[in-house]
Amino acid sequence: MRVLTPAAAGRSLTRYAWLSVAAAVATIALKVGAYALTGSVGLLSDALESLVNLAGGLMALMMLAVAAKPADEDHAYGHGKAEYFSSGMEGMLILVAAVSIGVAAIGRLIHPQPLERVGVGLAISVLASLINLGVGVILLRVGRQHHSITLEANARHLLTDVWTSAGVVVGVLVVVATDWERLDPVVALLVAANIVRSGVSIVRRSIAGLMDTALPAQDLEVVGAVLESHRQGGIEFHALRSRRSGARRFVSFHVLVPGDWTVTRGHQLLETIEQEIRRRLPGTTVFTHLESLDDPCSWDDTGLERPERP
């Protein structure tokens, strides 16, 4: 698989962020029109969530551009963590939208109002949902392919919006069939609860990235398999550490070899191991440290922190 440079990957992902912005603008216009025609607070909740989609898309554009910048003297590990700020901000905006929906729904629950021109309004809402569905599927696929939490957050929000819209449509249809006007704000409150769940999930993932959480188990299994294949002739490994920064992975570990090996032989082994890990986990930066099996100091740093020597 061809691995893009950070700048090239950033330009590629930015195109999809623009797609998210365009979809948000289109759905806002459609859903506001649907609300204006029907007066449904459920449809209003849909429109408010699309405003969050727009804000998230614009934030994604800015942060993807920052994340694509190459490493420099002040940011030796690159700028990939900028993506977590984008996804975290989108998660917070989702929670703000949920509160706004809840406030509007409670007011309508206390003072119910009849719905108007339901057929046209629902048709417009369904069209907006189809736009979100198509764009959400595309963004999710690209986000997973390029390990972009920003695009994944956008995608999951859009797909949540689709399910939200489906619930609103069902609620409005039931209101029309039963004349129970308070069902519309009840559905809006359920929508708000669903949005809160989505927002909390995105914020938690963003915080995990900023806190340098270790790579997922499946990635560590790949690293472990590579190391295990080189456990011969007494070679050992320890002090394995890992983290993710946006689309990039970082892995470091110590390699212990017999003390009578030459530096050249040890270096060649490290180069081979690093290359195998990068080939099996594209987009990974690997740091290795060569140590002697015969030196007692080599065993002082088997844990995450090396103890101070007296």
User: Domain check: are 257 and 198 in the same one?
Assistant: no
Structure tokens that stand for 242 in this block: 């890992």
Within this chain, do residues 222 and 204 fall inside the same structural domain, yes or no?
no
Residue 78, Ramachandran bin (φ over 0: left; ψ between -120 and 50: alpha; else beta) = left
pTM of the model: 0.61
Q: Are residues 183 and 244 in the same domain?
A: no
Where is the domain boundary, 210, 230, 264? Answer: 210
- Alpha-carbon 143 to chain mean position: 8
Q: What is the pLDDT of residue 10?
A: 52
Segment 233-250 mean pLDDT: 85
257 and 178 belong to one structural domain = no
Domain membership of residue 244 as a residue range: 217-299
Average of per-residue pLDDT values in the chain: 78
Residue 310 has pLDDT above 60, yes or no: no
Rank 9-13, 68-72, 205-209 by mean pLDDT and report only the highest. 205-209
Mean pLDDT of 182-198: 75
**Distance (Å, rounded) from C-alpha 194 to C-alpha 188?**
10
For residue 14, pLDDT over 90 is answered with no
Q: Are residues 179 and 231 in the same domain?
A: no
pLDDT at 100 over 80: no
Buried b (16+ CB within 10 A) or exposed e, 97-118: bbebbbebbeebbeeeeebeeb
pLDDT score for 83: 75
**Do 163 and 288 belong to one domain?**
no
End-of-domain residue from the set 160, 195, 210: 210
Residue 293 sits in a domain of what CATH number? Answer: 3.30.70.1350
Indicate the length of the chain as a whole number.
Answer: 310
Residues 6+ apart with CB under 8 A from 70: 5, 6, 7, 78
Looking at per-residue pLDDT, the higher value among 153 and 286 belongs to 286
Q: Is the pLDDT of residue 256 over 90?
A: yes
User: Is 181 in the same domain as 246?
Assistant: no
Q: Looking at the structure, do residues 28 and 157 belong to the same domain, yes or no? A: yes
Q: Rg of the Cα trace of the chain? A: 26
Residues 24 and 101 in one domain: yes
Q: Does 306 reside within a domain?
A: no
Domain assignment present for residue 225? The answer is yes
Q: How large is the average pLDDT for residues 226-250?
A: 86
Q: Rounded distance, CA 97 to CA 95, Å?
A: 5
The CATH code of the domain that includes 38 is 1.20.1510.10
